Amino acid sequence: MTGKELSEMMKDSVSGCHRALVREYGRYVYAIVYNKLRGCGTKEDIEECVSDVFADIFMKCEFDISSENDIKSLISTIASRTAIDRFRSLSARANHMTETDEDDMGELVSDFSVDEHVDRSELRRVLLDKIDELGEPDSTIIIQKFYYNRNSKEIAKSVSMTDVAVRARCSRAISKLRAKLVEVGIAI
């Protein structure tokens, strides 16, 4: 979603714009906040922080009408900073944790990063959408080559082409895909 799209939605309906923004980025914001507060906050603290993030976005941010850029980075920054502030305030209040509580919490902590996982999932979704936009047989060739690790001869049999033609199509499809990804702001 770009700033321009949000501005257009805001002209039609402010509440509709807010609903669309929460629908589009709600899980993303929740993942960021959860990752920051999972060690010190309750579910209610996390949900309250998510609400605060969207309140900040709605009250403080003016969406530039001319902006063609995705606002995901802006939302990510606001979510991270709000969650860090909440973490600091919760940590200050919970400073009286006992040693046994700290040992128990150490067992629960994992190196799995929810917001990084969400970002990778989003990147995969965009990549697959752009591969699909290439059309046939280019999308089939790219999927079989890079997702199923098949060679040109195996791909040629499945798409009824020669292996030389498959290599040429693959090379051109990669160039087209690179251009499509650059259009949406993903540099390779």
Residue 186 has pLDDT above 50, yes or no: yes
The pLDDT score that the predictor gives to residue 100 is: 45
Average pLDDT value over all residues in the chain = 77
**Residue 99: which pLDDT band, with cuts at 50, 70 and 90?**
very low
pLDDT tens digits along 154-179: 888 888 888 899 889 888 988 888 88
pTM recorded for the entire structure: 0.48
* Residue 60's pLDDT band (cuts 50, 70, 90): low
Which residue ranges form the domains of the chain, and what is each CATH number? 3-105 (1.10.1740), 118-183 (1.10.10.10)
Q: Could you write out the DSSP letters of every residue in the chain? A: -BHHHHHHHHHH-HHHHHHHHHHHHHHHHHHHHHHHHTTT--HHHHHHHHHHHHHHHHHHPPPPTT--SBSHHHHHHHHHHHHHHHHHHHHHHTTT--HHHHHHHHHH--S--HHHHHHHHHHHHHHHHHHHHT-TTHHHHHIIIIIS---HHHHHHHHTS-HHHHHHHHHHHHHHHHHHHHHTT---
